[in-house]
Structure 1
Amino acid sequence: MEDKKENPYITRLEFFHEQNKLENKITDKIKEGDKDISMRLREVDSEVSEIDKKVDDLRDILLPLAEFSKQTAENTKNTSDAINSFTNEQRKTNSKLWQKANEHDVALAKHGKNSRASWENWKTTVALISAILSVVGIIIGGIFALAPMLFQ
């Protein structure tokens, strides 16, 4: 704008002329900024492509690991089932063995009691027989001791 003090208003031509100057300045700044922006966009694109490559590498590593992990979980479950069934069979077998061993122990305990009881009975019988023989011996001894006095 030119300084015209006579007329405080601007003409239409001056207005368009000033508008054109401003548009050109802004366009030049945008073009300079576009260069910076386009360089920055290229940098960002290269960083994105690097990240994409890294993600692809991770995908190549992690997907097989995930599949391996699933297979490991399935194998672990199969192993667990096999061990559980084996344990159940062992419990059945051991239960039968323990039951037989327990029956054997009970039979031995009963036999031991019977043996003790029969030993006690035997001791009692022997004592009774000894007492009877002693009494018979005393009676016979008395008869032999008294016989000479009676037959004299």
Structure 2
Amino acid sequence: MDTLFAPPGERWQAVSPKLRTLRRLLLVSWLGVLGLASSIVLIVLVAWWIGVLLLVVVGAVLLWGWWLIGRNWQSWGYAEREDDLLVTHGVMFKTLVVVPYGRMQFVDVTAGPLDRKFGIAKLQLHTATPASDAEIPGLTPEEAAQLRDRLAALGEARAAGL
């Protein structure tokens, strides 16, 4: 990792591989089904070669998306430090968010139906400045709950001195 976006010496935690699996399943479900249906309609109603061409394009986009999802999943990480939480992500456009514990107002844990089916949740940190909010997707429910409780306790302890 680039030292600007992932300072060395920190113990970086990765997100669950289930996040990658879920996103790839969604990619194949939506793009694959829509591409196949569109190709069949084009083959039957317009010209067979246009439908086949669309299938080739959809296949290429699926492969590219599969690869991108893997790279994006690898880019997510977080590190707990003494006074703040670091969250980094992004491949092309890298982001590092530093959230001081004393600035946190509240911590959310959310999980939609598919997230729950795959056993993952998203932790959202809220501060007074929306630009410094951070989220960590793809945490196991246990990890999300433990992190939420630790961050809430640290936030209360650090905010008490203000």
TM-score of the aligned structures, taking structure 1 as reference length = 0.28
More strand per residue: 1 or 2? Answer: 2
Q: TM (normalized to structure 2)?
A: 0.26
